[in-house]
Structure 1
Amino acid sequence: MDRAELGAFLRSRRARLQAADAGLAPGPRRQTPGLRRAEVALLAGISVDYYVRLEQGRGPRPSDQVLTALGRALRLTADEHAYLLRLARPAFAPPSGPVPANVLRLLDRLDDVPAMVINAGYDLVAWNRMLVALIGDPAGWSPRRRNRLRRLFDTGDKITGNRLELARLCVADLRAGGRYPADPVVRALVDELLDTSPEFARLWAAREVVVPRTLTKRTVHPVAGPLELDCEILAVPGHEHRLLVYTAAPGTPSAEGLKLLLTA
């Protein structure tokens, strides 16, 4: 059980709520934003002392009933509640390893849309020909450049479109994955970016938790022109890998742009 992160996460979720959000009277003027600890305890049906100890990282392992009550009191999303449960009940994380053969076969069959496979640390580990046409050939890149998260926070890397939005969602996804700090690869990546990127440090400190299933990527390609692509993120059961597939709505300029890439 990660008591320190559990306490920090509870504090961050409490700070974002106002009394009115929880159906409470505003009461006397507040010196700090968010609900008071006593108000969270009241809403969750637990003692103030117990809740204070949880926030301070001193409390015992909370029961599932208490965690569910805290999730309701703090208005957690489904992804945030899953993260809260994971902090209190660390689950087995799929080990690192090669991309499963069936995923590689599927990747090869996706010959008319860009697609790639990333691991838990956001390393690009497999891709198809259409992805090469979209972003260039990762085979010629250094291992560091093949890390998608590093590229989003590399100020010297010219990434157009909605980079800031994608960066925020990817940081929230990295935290939601629950591999930090137990996975040494993820921990090293986070520590590196905390040291080198104030933007990453700000997003990481916000403790946003989101598991994106669909993203929108906007970019300008030198051949295909402006592109707005929907990215479907498909988890590989029992493995750390995820398959990302980029498509465009039929009849749009982006769909025509993908056709240009197909013949390039």
Structure 2
Amino acid sequence: MARQELARFLRQRREVIGPADVGLTAGGRRRTPGLRREEVAGLAHMSVDYYTRLEQARGPHPSPRILDALTSALRLSPAERVHLFRLAGASPTPPAGPVRQVRPYVANLLRRIPEAAAVVTDVTYDVIAFNPLADALLGDLRTEPNLARRRFMRVGGYESSSAEEFGHIAVARLRAAADRYPRDEPLANLLAELRAGSAEFTEIWKTNPVRSPGHRTKTISHPQAGPLRVNCDVLTIPDDDQQVVFLTADPGTPTAHALRHLAATG
């Protein structure tokens, strides 16, 4: 029964993912929706025969390595990944690393709120998506996209009144990320860099802070617009372990007018 449920789950996931979702071209008319078996097998680096037997409930119990490959090929969420492992009778292994791509609907959200600066960060505080106002407000996110590095290494960005509070929030999130993704090399390299380059980061890390994002206000010292008092609100994307940060101004305030000007001029 479990093998049949695993086969059914694989078929269902394959049929709801389009070629564009995984970076493939459609290649003409398709008789059935979703990906072809050979496409999933190629994405998962396994033979078509082996994958076909899994879908037909004839294959052997897949190993954790195979299950992780299927997770990547079928773009499973963390919850779906756990479900896949359980169907296969295996204990979920720690994920190899965090999601570092932005889902299209999240990227579209950033474009629909022109008077709010918005960024998406992964668990390492890399800004992986942002709108033009965020770039103008926070200062060249392409040159230095990592907010933790900006905060502790003093590279890029503008001074903020909430820098001390954000330092504790950042360390709390990075510590949690290190526990969840112990095998992720980019995260390990970032933590090593911050420990070596920032005594403040090391001291905060020792305290094991427990902080969570939420609604806060802060003042950003912008070199052209001057001091800007903004609201900072964080929404989480649990499936991808990401956060969307919105920076807005109270209507009718000087900051609101300044943000509107920055949005218009870049």
Same fold (TM over 0.5): yes
Tell me the residue number matched to 1:205: 206
Identical-residue share of aligned pairs (%): 35
1:99 maps onto 2:102 in alignment: yes
Alignment: residue pair count: 171
Structure 2 letter corresponding to 1:164: E
Distance 1:91 1:251, change over 3 A: farther
- 1:83-140 CA-to-partner distances (Å, cap 9, x unmatched) read xxxxxxx99668424211110111111211111111111111111111122133433x
Tell me the residue number matched to 1:146: 145
Tell me the residue number matched to 1:219: 220
Tell me the residue number matched to 1:243: 244
1:194–1:200 contact (8 Å) kept in structure 2: yes
1:164 Cα offset (Å): 2.2
1:182 Cα offset (Å): 4.7
In 1, Cα distance between equivalents of 2:195 and 2:238: 30
Structure 2 letter corresponding to 1:225: G
Note the 1:161-180 alignment, pairs <5 A.
Answer: 161-162=160-161, 163-177=163-177, 178-179=179-180
In 1, Cα distance between equivalents of 2:191 and 2:118: 25
1:117–1:242 contact (8 Å) kept in structure 2: yes
1:241 Cα offset (Å): 2.0
Note the 1:18-33 alignment, pairs <5 A.
Answer: none
Identify which of 114, 128, 131 aligns with 2:131.
128
Note the 1:57-76 alignment, pairs <5 A.
Answer: none
CA RMSD of aligned residues (A): 2.4
Tell me the residue number matched to 2:115: 112
1:160–1:220 contact (8 Å) kept in structure 2: yes
Q: Give the TM-score normalised by structure 1.
A: 0.58
In 2, Cα distance between equivalents of 1:149 and 1:200: 9
In 2, Cα distance between equivalents of 1:167 and 1:182: 24
- 1:201-248 CA-to-partner distances (Å, cap 9, x unmatched) read 000001011121233332122332211111111111311221111111
1:147 Cα offset (Å): 0.8
Distance 1:241 1:108, change over 3 A: same
1:173–1:212 contact (8 Å) kept in structure 2: no
Matched residue SS, 2:240: coil
In 1, Cα distance between equivalents of 2:154 and 2:110: 31
